[in-house]
Structure 1
């Protein structure tokens, strides 16, 4: 009798096909039942760092299904509230709702700009996000600003009208999924939706009914009616604007379909007594208002677990699970066709007892059960919310402020491998939210030859110390995935730069960079110039920046080092720093001077490139010297931009906002 199995016969048997297919079916069911939102073909090919081309605050619609309704949310704010707008953009970009039900566009609305800072910074916002409406009016409160917005909407969106328009305040937190669901069954005409006031006899009583200004919705026909009607100025100006909106509708017998959303829309309570419009949080909240201070935002976002979302599975996770399914099939095949045939000979010689044969073939069943359970375990380890971030696109931030190194994954290589890869680490502080958003806008609008370089930009600081940082930084990580939190206490000249540089091999050792740049958050870096200047530089023992001392008045006679505004090291020097006892034992001092000191003492970084005068300090009214001078066209980096007007001077010199296109939505002159 031959010991070789009849493969064709065994492969075609129903039991064999069942055992091979069951793991794959089991894996598919696991995804469909446990991770229905992630089981899409595009997720398998997407990368961890993929981002929308712009932060348009709306879902990506799949297919050509037309949503049930379209909603425009106009958030009334002020030009100078950059940080608040960035907070709201981040919050709403992380929310999800059913795109088959609604299409929601969010716009920030204010009057004409007055200062140079406003014109430059808001131009950057428009170029990056395209989500601002600037009305032709003077900033005011209760003098017609809301009416100006509502009556102007039809002209702005006549080609693409909405079903609803919402006016909202910038101190209101809106839960988009709850809002969308609550609007599904509402009338599309003559509709007025919000928190009905007055709701007691102590506030606004006996003023006729109106919807609280925290956020109310009007159907498109009412918006058109407001635009077409010729109201007297005292009907739209000189009074509490949202009360005046209700007054217009009441006097003209409009908005017969009214929807009071108490208690789902309400004011933040805090220590104040509860009322019909102010109370504790409720789970099915649509909107919370009067979040004036950051502490109130933190408390609200914490209640709704905004930063507790589990990280998204990376493509590697999907591939690993698929590989496991194939491994299960292989073990079954091996157990059935390699092990079993040999056993059959012994069985035929020893006994024909059916019980013995069944027991001998049981490893196949045992293998299937064990490996199937292994698949389940791995699914939960790698994807479930209790995981620690293994194989995911970003790690969830810890609930405590004592956070160790929190890393992000690098941008995957493009189809054409670049000549070099560089990590740009911008050393900053946790609470400098507005500065990080400014830098993100500036870098996002720059271009450079990506066949030459891949640049990953990360913002670097030490452990978080309070609840505001814990929540707001977590939002940034969830949205941008571009932050590294070092396991250290914030300091200047007490080892922070050393901690950053020495941590990198452990963080990125599996995908090492060619270069690492340490930059400051008050530096404007021109990426295309930087890339071109590095193209011909060696990949080893390389130290690049502005060499100082460059005169006998500053830092003299300290040995030469590269100024801390921004210097570049080759990866081998980064590896050396991470293992050097010299650097580890001597890292307390003027940090960037100490970096040069280590290299001098160890005989490292022999290949040095002084980029003067292309890297320099902002001059302003100060005297010119070898490291501070007027702007020059081929600049690589401008440093010491501490104040907003210094950023504006710099960005205007380099014509950063010159590509802003004219639009009916704004007029920046």
Structure 2
């Protein structure tokens, strides 16, 4: 197998070094989505950046797995974890396994974890990242005081910590410095895993003395807040919407033909308890 295919077969290979590693959580069947990402925001290549689409292959139908292997042979940009199955309930396992594999096989300064429906502007993101603390960094759009899901596919049967979730950066896209990835990777066997991977990461990092940076330019909630030219990451984007944004940037240098607000945003208030952190919606924020 190629050196980016199996978490079981790559350990011990020569490490490579990048400033930013992008792990894109993707479904095995979404080859068209990955094609759109490669042709849009990933086409703005940078020698300091390495991307990998992360896929779980455990239990995959043979034809689906063969398609994934052929795709990786063509592009060499897929991390196929043969110990991880693909389902919502295994997403936290998948993210943790991706962190552990990355820690063992690459040297890097930062990790961006995002989803395959996120549009990322890598050049301004890198520019901003160089201004941020270069260690102990947890950067994204934070949520606090959210009710714990008690039913449905998001039900957290193992949750007992408190009545609400702890503060966490939303999973449409967040950045961790390499020391925090190392902490999570090495602590993996002892970490409690919850249904929501972004909630899990927030819990795992909660006792640490780190730099949590809330940024409204991360439009990474369950639904996009609209379109603003300042956005660094925009979540919940279709392949067509990614192509439109990419074309806008090429033609005009701007993400949006016209800026649009769908929902209000907020600055996280770190001076109060999580239940009061995110109440002050500001019409002046993107």
TM above 0.5, yes or no, is yes
Aligned equivalents of 1:617 and 1:412: distance in 2?
A: 29
Deviation, 1:648, is 5.1
Q: Any idea what SS the aligned residue of 2:52 has?
A: strand
Deviation, 1:405, is 4.2
Residue 563 of structure 1: aligned partner: 170
Q: Any idea what SS the aligned residue of 2:102 has?
A: helix
Which of the residues 492, 495, 500 maps onto 2:88?
492
- Name stretches of at least 5 consecutive residues in structure 2 with no aligned partner: 150-162, 254-286
Contact 2:56 2:85 in 1 (8 A): yes
Q: Normalized per residue, which structure has more helix? A: 1
Go from structure 1 to structure 2 and tell me whether the alpha carbon gap of 1:554 and 1:633 turns closer, same or farther (over 3 Å shift): farther
Residue 655 of structure 1: aligned partner: 249
Aligned equivalents of 2:245 and 2:9: distance in 1?
A: 33
Aligned equivalents of 2:197 and 2:183: distance in 1?
A: 17
Which of the residues 58, 61, 80 maps onto 1:466?
61
Residue 27 of structure 2: aligned partner: 429
Which of the residues 102, 110, 120 maps onto 1:504?
102
Residue 50 of structure 2: aligned partner: 456
Cα deviation 1:119-159 (Å, max 9, x = unaligned): xxxxxxxxxxxxxxxxxxxxxxxxxxxxxxxxxxxxxxxxx
Aligned positions, number: 235
Q: Does 1:442 align with 2:40?
A: yes
Contact 2:37 2:242 in 1 (8 A): no
Aligned equivalents of 1:564 and 1:617: distance in 2?
A: 7
1:1-400 residue pairs with structure 2 within 5 A?
394-395=2-3
Aligned equivalents of 1:584 and 1:577: distance in 2?
A: 10
Deviation, 1:525, is 0.3
Between 1 and 2, higher relative CO (CA 8 Å, sep ≥ 6) is seen in: 2
Deviation, 1:492, is 1.9
- Name stretches of at least 5 consecutive residues in structure 1 with no aligned partner: 1-388, 398-402, 414-419, 620-626, 660-669
Deviation, 1:429, is 1.2
Deviation, 1:434, is 0.7
Contact 1:562 1:596 in 2 (8 A): yes
Contact 1:518 1:566 in 2 (8 A): yes
Deviation, 1:477, is 1.9
Cα deviation 1:151-183 (Å, max 9, x = unaligned): xxxxxxxxxxxxxxxxxxxxxxxxxxxxxxxxx
Residue 212 of structure 1: aligned partner: none
Which of the residues 565, 570, 574 maps onto 2:181?
574
Deviation, 1:574, is 1.4
Residue 281 of structure 1: aligned partner: none
Residue 218 of structure 2: aligned partner: 615
Cα deviation 1:292-337 (Å, max 9, x = unaligned): xxxxxxxxxxxxxxxxxxxxxxxxxxxxxxxxxxxxxxxxxxxxxx
Residue 515 of structure 1: aligned partner: 110
Aligned equivalents of 1:545 and 1:428: distance in 2?
A: 20
Contact 1:493 1:591 in 2 (8 A): no
Deviation, 1:594, is 0.8
Deviation, 1:638, is 0.3
Q: Normalized per residue, which structure has more strand? A: 2
Aligned equivalents of 1:442 and 1:505: distance in 2?
A: 27
Structure 2 length-normalised TM: 0.71
Go from structure 1 to structure 2 and tell me whether the alpha carbon gap of 1:482 and 1:470 turns closer, same or farther (over 3 Å shift): same
Residue 638 of structure 1: aligned partner: 234
Residue 258 of structure 2: aligned partner: none
Computed over aligned residues only, the root mean square deviation of the Cα atoms, in angstroms, reads 3.3
Go from structure 1 to structure 2 and tell me whether the alpha carbon gap of 1:611 and 1:604 turns closer, same or farther (over 3 Å shift): same
Residue 155 of structure 1: aligned partner: none
Q: Any idea what SS the aligned residue of 2:85 has?
A: coil
Deviation, 1:517, is 1.3
Go from structure 1 to structure 2 and tell me whether the alpha carbon gap of 1:482 and 1:605 turns closer, same or farther (over 3 Å shift): farther
